[in-house]
Amino acid sequence: MAPDRGQAALELDEPPGMAPVPLPVLDERLRGTRFVALANRTILNAPAQTGMDFWSLNPYVGCEFGCTYCYARYAHRYVVERAHAQGRLSDAELTEFRGPHGWEAFERRIFVKERAVAALERDLRRHARSAAPIVIGTATDPYQPAERRFRITRAVLERLAACEGLSVGLITKSPLVARDAGLLARLQRHNAVEVYVSLISVDAKLVRSVEARSPHPAARLRALARLTAAGINAGLIVAPVLPGITDDVAALRALFAAARDAGARFVCAGPLRLYPAVRDRFLPVLGARFPALADRYRAAYGRATSAPPAYARALQRRVRRLQAEFGFRSNQGMVDRYRTAIPVTQGELNL
């Protein structure tokens, strides 16, 4: 997903008149992951802030799954730098949070929005004047491992389930979403719901090569089947499609077939966007795992963050043919509509 350009979404300020206080550590794991409380006063990012046609909501900042291509590292860096500027992180802590590699903090220092429900209560009053959808998980996974303990996403869904007439989208790689199948079904009774299970390939070895700690493809597909069996409007989002790695017809057809077998209501897909904050993490992995593609990626994404226009168009045609072949609707849902609205820049990379 494209980054939210508005930075109000990552608000760290305390109410006026209160002195900054250090960020409390909520938990720490053996592998070194630390969970830090983020005392947010807002949680919904308005379209006017992001430039997109929906409201976005992210219960966490940072993600343990560690997908090498994840664009959301920029958001984590902003939160860390704001905390340091406000005196809530010392110089030593700032260095420790950043780690020897800029990408490490995103995977090992997870901010938890403890005040999510109270913030949502206030934000829903702003949203009441808008018909735009609310999409959960546009920056970091709302069902990453932290959710098992902190249950922020579940609390948010509980509050939204008390509303009527909303359009709610949710994006996740985690089979933990199936835990909330009953809650999502309740939310869907009076609101439009779309749940997007994210998966780039059914090849577990390939997935592991670019997603350090994400759930096994089969586990995600089982979760998708549980959601659709519960009557939830759920499908597959293939994002990002990695040029030269996961974009061939056979690989995409395998994904579409797996989605159909899981009862998916839709399948959508979009190509890789490679932002500057992601290059240091993704390009070394690409060079080690797929060395023949390294120069092509550098040429294609050297001056652009989006896939070359010709490639994006060819991929879209391929996806549409597969949608028709497997009987999926071709109309765009809230997330697919948003992804394809992203402008692309010039360059060449053949499909």
CATH fold of 41-57+119-338 reads: pyruvate-formate lyase- activating enzyme (3.80.30)
Residue-level pLDDT at 277: 75
Rounded to two decimals, the pTM is 0.84
CA distance 351 to 345: 16
The stretches of the chain forming alpha helices (DSSP H) are 47-50, 73-85, 91-98, 104-108, 116-127, 146-150, 152-160, 181-190, 204-210, 217-229, 249-261, 276-289, 294-301, 309-326, 334-340
CA 270 to chain centre: 13
CA distance 151 to 142: 9
Answer whether 34's CB lies under 8 Å from 105's CB: no
CA distance 59 to 152: 6
Tokens at 225, concatenated: 């089947």
pLDDT in tens, the chain (351 residues): 444 433 333 232 333 444 454 555 555 554 568 888 887 889 998 888 877 889 999 999 889 998 999 987 777 776 777 777 777 667 776 776 666 555 677 888 888 999 999 999 999 998 887 889 999 998 899 999 999 999 999 999 999 999 999 999 999 999 999 999 999 999 999 999 999 999 999 999 999 999 989 999 999 999 999 999 999 999 999 999 999 999 999 999 999 999 999 999 999 999 999 988 788 889 999 999 999 999 999 999 988 899 999 999 999 999 999 999 999 986 556 655 545 433 322 222 222
Residue-level pLDDT at 27: 52
DSSP states of 103-168: THHHHHEEEE-TTHHHHHHHHHHHHTT----EEE-SSS-TTSTHHHHH-HHHHHHHHHTT-SS-EE
CA distance 276 to 295: 17
Q: Which helix (H) or strand (E) holds 239?
A: strand 234-241
**Domain extents in the chain:** 41-57+119-338
Residue-level pLDDT at 4: 40
Answer whether 237's CB lies under 8 Å from 198's CB: yes
Bridge-partner residues for 109, per DSSP?
34
Residue-level pLDDT at 342: 37
